[in-house]
Structure 1
Amino acid sequence: MFGLIGHLTSLQHAQSVAKELGYPEYADQGLDFWCSAPPQIVDNITVTSITGQTIEGRYVESCFLPEMLANRRIKAATRKILNAMAHAQKHGINITALGGFSSIIFENFNLQQNKQVRNIKLEFERFTTGNTHTAYIICRQVEQASKQLGIELSKATVAVCGATGDIGSAICRWLDSRTDVAELLLIARNQERLQELQAELGRGKIMGLEEALPQADIIVWVASMPKGVEIDPTVLKQPCLLIDGGYPKNLGTKVKHPGVHVLNGGIVEHSLDIDWRIMHIVNMDVPARQLFACFAESMLLEFEKLHTNFSWGRNQITVAKMEQIGEVSVKHGFSPLLV
């Protein structure tokens, strides 16, 4: 059995979803309540591969909300993720994906030091961040969507915003070794890590955001959107492909301009309908078939009976592992969302 640990995008979103899912006691509660709310299994899932194989899964709502980080409730946020992991393990789930902020919180706050959650000793091999499949899907979106728009990679400049993150660095490795992209622009806050990435790749220009964006034919956004950062679409090239790999995805509403094509990055489409409710509440265009690539990674690992933390730790994703999960993704009927 596979599991998905997720969360909603805001307090308002959580209140509306709680009502829709049949938890009226959560629907009118404020942030204090959500800080203390326990994790819940709120959906049972059935997925069928194009091979004919069928698997079962569970969606675990962590009850984490981004407002917890904004309001400095770090202990509540970290407790949410650990409790959700323990809840998944207690229910016998073999491999569980940490979706959205779950994996980021786990890594940034070194939660691997917290193996004991009450009477449960966490077995980390039961969990995966899903970042390898996410990075693979975004790279395939770069390759396929650019072709749709008539952008030749051999002549294109690709800017990766968030280049030193787990997903961003993996994307850079893929673009460097698997494509003939003309130029890579590396954008991130940490200059030391940028220089290390540049040295590893043996290429790439380190740039600031304002300098890089007007030069890019393709922008891959896998960084968080800091408050106060605005993208002026009038300075972007036309055509320009902007792949929004962040969560929640909001560049489509922030960047609207003729010739600028915004694509939801890290989203896959399955060839067959998935029996679940959860994607109906996260605003997927085709909720029966579209989902986050990180969630799909746990499904793929369950299909293949690879019950292991396939994606784990920071900057450990190799091109070989991206190729491996990519082959399995195609085998079972998943494909990148395109323009």
Structure 2
Amino acid sequence: MFGLIGHPTSLEHAYDVAKELGYPEYINQGLDFWCSAPPIVMDELTVTSVTGQQIQGKYVESCFLPEMLANRRVKAATRKVLNAMAYAQKHGINITALGGFSSIIFENFSLQRLGRIRNIKLEFERFTTGNTHTAYIISRQVEQAAPKLGIDLSKATVAVCGATGDIGSAVCRWLSERTPVAKLLLVARDRERLQNLQADLGRGKVMTLNEALPEADIVVWVASMPKGVQIDTTTLKKPCLLIDGGYPKNLDAKVQHSGVHVLAGGIVEHSLDIDWRMMKIVNMDVPARQLFACFAESMLLEFEKWYTNFSWGRNQITVEKMEKIGEVSIKHGFRPLLAFAKA
């Protein structure tokens, strides 16, 4: 059995989730309530591969809210992730994906040193961040969407915003080794880490966001957009492909201009319907078919019986691992989302 650990994108979104799933006691509760709410299985599902194989899974709601970090409730946030992991393990789930902020919290706050939750010793091989599959899907979205806009990758300039992160660095490796682009622009907040990435890749130009955007034919955004950051669409190239790989996805609302095409990054479409409610709640256009690539990674690992933390640690993703997860992704009927957001 596979598991998915997720969370609402905001307190307001949490109310919608509780209402949709029939948990009236969770509706209209304040942040204090959500800080103390325990993890809960909010959905059970069956996924069918195009090979005919079927697997069972559970969606575990961690009850984490991004407002916990904004309000300096770091202990509550870390406790949410660890409790959800312990809950999944206790219920016998073989491999569980840490969705949304769950994997970011785990990495940034070094939660692996806290290996015991009450009487449960966490078996980390039961968990995956799903970042390898996400990086693969975003890279394939670049490859497949660019020609639709008349962008030749061999001549294109690609800016990766959030380049030093786990997903961002993997996308940079792919665009350097697997499908080399003409110019690679590296954007992130930590300049030292950017320079280390540049040295590792043997290429790429370190730039600020404002410097990079006017030069880019393609912008891969793999970090949440900081509050207050605005994109001047008049400075962007036309056409420009903008892949929104952050969470929550909101660039389509912020960037609306003729010639600028926004694609929801890290989203896959399955060839067969999945009977579940969660993707409707996160506003997927086709909720029975579309899902986050990180969630799909746990499904793929269950299909293949690869019970291991396939994606783990920071900046450990190789092109070879991306190709490996990509092969089984295709095998079981997943493909990158290529529908542009409507203006």
Q: TM-score, normalised by structure 1?
A: 0.99
Structure 1 equivalent of residue 206 of structure 2 = 206
May I ask how many residue pairs the two structures share in their alignment?
339
Structure 2 equivalent of residue 121 of structure 1 = 121
Q: Distance in 1 between matches of 2:213 and 2:128?
A: 32
- What amino acid sits opposite 2:109 in the alignment? F
Within 5 A, what are the aligned runs for 1:34-45?
34-45=34-45
Structure 1 equivalent of residue 312 of structure 2 = 312
Do 2:174 and 2:180's aligned partners in 1 also have CA atoms closer than 8 Å? Answer: no
Structure 1 equivalent of residue 226 of structure 2 = 226
Q: Distance in 2 between matches of 1:180 and 1:11?
A: 41
Structure 2 equivalent of residue 139 of structure 1 = 139
Q: Secondary structure at the match of 2:248?
A: coil
Structure 2 equivalent of residue 283 of structure 1 = 283
Q: Distance in 2 between matches of 1:246 and 1:121?
A: 32
- What amino acid sits opposite 1:45 in the alignment? L
Structure 2 equivalent of residue 256 of structure 1 = 256
Structure 2 equivalent of residue 53 of structure 1 = 53
Q: Distance in 2 between matches of 1:205 and 1:44?
A: 46
Alpha-carbon shift at residue 320 of structure 1 (Å) = 0.3
Q: Distance in 2 between matches of 1:185 and 1:198?
A: 10
Alpha-carbon shift at residue 49 of structure 1 (Å) = 0.2
More off after superposition, 193-202 vs 303-312: 193-202
Do 2:224 and 2:248's aligned partners in 1 also have CA atoms closer than 8 Å? Answer: no
Do 2:16 and 2:281's aligned partners in 1 also have CA atoms closer than 8 Å? Answer: no
Q: Distance in 2 between matches of 1:327 and 1:287?
A: 24
Within 5 A, what are the aligned runs for 1:8-27?
8-27=8-27
> Which runs of no fewer than 5 residues in structure 2 stay unpaired?
none
Q: 1:24-62: CA deviations, max 9, x gaps?
A: 001021111000000000100100000000000000000
Structure 1 equivalent of residue 270 of structure 2 = 270
Q: Secondary structure at the match of 1:63?
A: coil
Structure 2 equivalent of residue 178 of structure 1 = 178
Alpha-carbon shift at residue 180 of structure 1 (Å) = 3.0
Q: Distance in 2 between matches of 1:174 and 1:295?
A: 21
Structure 2 equivalent of residue 294 of structure 1 = 294
More off after superposition, 290-299 vs 25-34: 25-34
Structure 1 equivalent of residue 247 of structure 2 = 247
Structure 2 equivalent of residue 155 of structure 1 = 155
Q: 1:280-308: CA deviations, max 9, x gaps?
A: 10000000000000000000000000010
Q: 1:232-285: CA deviations, max 9, x gaps?
A: 111100000000000000001000000000000000000000121111100000
Alpha-carbon shift at residue 224 of structure 1 (Å) = 2.1
Cα RMSD, aligned residues only:
0.6
2:93 pairs with 1:93:
yes
- What amino acid sits opposite 1:255 in the alignment? V
More off after superposition, 224-233 vs 328-337: 224-233
Structure 2 equivalent of residue 78 of structure 1 = 78
Q: Secondary structure at the match of 1:103?
A: helix
> Which runs of no fewer than 5 residues in structure 1 stay unpaired?
none
Do 2:35 and 2:63's aligned partners in 1 also have CA atoms closer than 8 Å? Answer: yes
Q: 1:154-206: CA deviations, max 9, x gaps?
A: 11000000000000000000000011310000001111111111111111000
Structure 2 equivalent of residue 188 of structure 1 = 188
Q: Secondary structure at the match of 2:297?
A: helix
Alpha-carbon shift at residue 72 of structure 1 (Å) = 0.5
Q: 1:75-102: CA deviations, max 9, x gaps?
A: 0000000000000000000000000000
More off after superposition, 226-235 vs 3-12: 226-235
Alpha-carbon shift at residue 229 of structure 1 (Å) = 1.0
2:241 pairs with 1:238:
no
Do 2:186 and 2:206's aligned partners in 1 also have CA atoms closer than 8 Å? Answer: yes
Q: 1:132-155: CA deviations, max 9, x gaps?
A: 000000000000000111100011
Alignment identity in percent?
Answer: 82
Structure 2 equivalent of residue 33 of structure 1 = 33
More off after superposition, 323-332 vs 191-200: 191-200
Q: Distance in 2 between matches of 1:210 and 1:170?
A: 23
Q: Distance in 1 between matches of 2:180 and 2:39?
A: 45
- What amino acid sits opposite 1:32 in the alignment? D
Q: Distance in 1 between matches of 2:239 and 2:127?
A: 40
Structure 2 equivalent of residue 325 of structure 1 = 325
Q: Distance in 1 between matches of 2:224 and 2:274?
A: 29
- What amino acid sits opposite 1:256 in the alignment? Q
